[in-house]
Amino acid sequence: MLSSGKLISVSFSLLVLCAIFFAAPAYCEGDPIAHLTDFTGTVLIQNQRSWGDPVKNLPLYSMDKVVTRVGTAVITFADGAVVEIKNNTNLLIQEMEKEEGLMKKAKIVQRRIILFLGKMFFKTGKGNVQTQFETEKSVIGIRGTAGVLSIGSDGQIYIEFTEGGAKFTAGDLILGKVAKDVPTQVIDQTLIQKAAFMAHAAWKRCGEAKEKVSKGEISPDQRDWVCAYAVEMSSREVKTWSEALVQNNPSEDVVEWAKEIIVLEDISIEKSIKSQEQAVERGAVPEPIDEITPPETQGGVEGYAAPETEADTLQTAGETGGDEFSDPLPQDNMPNSPVGSN
C-alpha cells in the first residue's frame, strides 16, 4: 500500500500472515487496532508487512511498526489510548483478543508495545484492555497510567509515571527518570535501526519497479526479483529484533515467542531467496542494496545533541524541556504472546 510515499501492497496473502502472526481471528480479517493520527519529519511505517512513508490517519494493524529518525509520530488506539513517539525511536504495536471468566465470558484486549529504541510518551485509554510494555531487556505491566518510557544511549531503560503506575516489572530498569535524547548518528548505527532502513529502502524500490513495469521500462521478471528481495529484507528486519529479544529479554514467554517468530522468518527468507533465484533464471538481474543510507530528514524537528557528561544522561520528567506530552499512551500485545506475564 505504499509506493513512493504511499504504502505498497504486500505480495503474499493475508491468510499466510494470519497463520504466521495472529491467534485472534478478528485481526486476521484486517481490522485496524489504531491510527497514525499525526507525524512530523522523517517517519517510516511498516504496515501489514510492507514498508513505506506515513499518511495521516493511516490505519495501523497488529504487528505494525513505526520508526522515526528526526521526526515524531502519534498513534491513537480504538479505546482512546495514545502513544507519542519522539525522535530516533523504533517500536512495534500488537494486540489480540481473548475471553476471561469461567461462567460469564468477557472479552479482553491484550495490547503490547515493544520499544526497541528511543522514547515514547504514553497515556492509557478507557475500556477492557490489558497493557504491557516491553523493551529488549524489560517487561512492564501497566494499569491506568500516563508517563514516559525511554532508552538511553547505553541501552539502560527508564520509566517515569505522571499518573498511575506499573502492575509489575521485570528486567533492569530505572523508575522515576527519563533518558536523555540519544543523537541521531548514534541511533543510525544500531542493528535494529539499520535493518528498518534497509527494509524501507527495499520496499521503496519494489514500488518503483512496479511503476516501471507498467511503463514498459523493465521486465516483470526484474520486478519480481526486486519485490522478492523486499520481502526478504522485511523478514531479516523482523529477525533482527526477534534475536535481540531472545538474547536479552527477562521473560521466558517473550523469549519463546521471539524464537517462534525467528523460525517463521527463516522460512520466509528461504522462500524469498528461492523466488529471487527463479526470477534470475527467467532473465532478471540481481540488484541488492549494498549500502545502507538513512532516509533524508524532511524537516520540522530539531536533532538531538549528545550528552556532555554522564550526569547529563538523566532528566526527570519535569526537566525534559521541549518534550511536553499532550495526551499520549501505549499499549500492546502479540498473538500467542505473553501479556501480563512476569
pLDDT over threshold 70, residue 6: no
Q: One-letter amino acid identity for 140? A: I
Under DSSP, the state recorded for 327 is S
Which residues fall within 8 angstroms of residue 118, CB to CB, at 6 or more apart? 68, 85, 86, 87, 88, 89, 90, 91, 150, 151, 182, 187
Strand, coil or helix: 98:
strand
pTM: 0.80
Considering only CA atoms, which of 153, 162, 159 is closest in space to residue 178? 159
Bigger pLDDT: 21 vs 202: 202
Range list of H helices, the chain: 14-21, 25-28, 184-187, 191-214, 220-248, 252-281
> What mean pLDDT comes out for the span 24-47?
80
Helices 191-214 & 220-248, crossing angle to 10 degrees? 160
Position 16 scores a pLDDT of 41
Position 97 scores a pLDDT of 86
Q: How many structural domains is the chain composed of?
A: 1
DSSP annotation string for 202-227:
HHHHHHHHHHHHHTTSS-HHHHHHHH
How much of the chain exceeds pLDDT 70, in percent? 76
Average pLDDT over the chain reads: 82
pLDDT over threshold 80, residue 112: yes
All cell numbers assigned to 237: 528486519
Considering only CA atoms, which of 132, 41, 75 is closest in space to residue 327? 75
| Exposed/middle/buried for residue 236 (C-beta within 10 Å: 0-12, 13-18, 19+) | middle
pLDDT band for position 315 (cuts 50, 70, 90)? very low
Q: Which range has the worst mean pLDDT, 87-91, 114-118, 255-259, 332-336? A: 332-336
Considering only CA atoms, which of 235, 255, 244, 262 is closest in space to residue 116? 244
Domain residues for the domain of 227 are: 1-287+296-342
- Compute φ and ψ for 310, nearest 5 degrees: -60, -35
227 and 10 in contact (C-beta within 8 Å)? no
Q: What pLDDT, in 10s, does the model give residues 246-303?
A: 999 999 999 999 999 999 999 999 999 999 999 999 999 999 998 888 887 543 333 3
Query: What Rg, from alpha-carbon coordinates, does the chain have?
Result: 20
Position 283 scores a pLDDT of 98
pLDDT band for position 163 (cuts 50, 70, 90)? very high
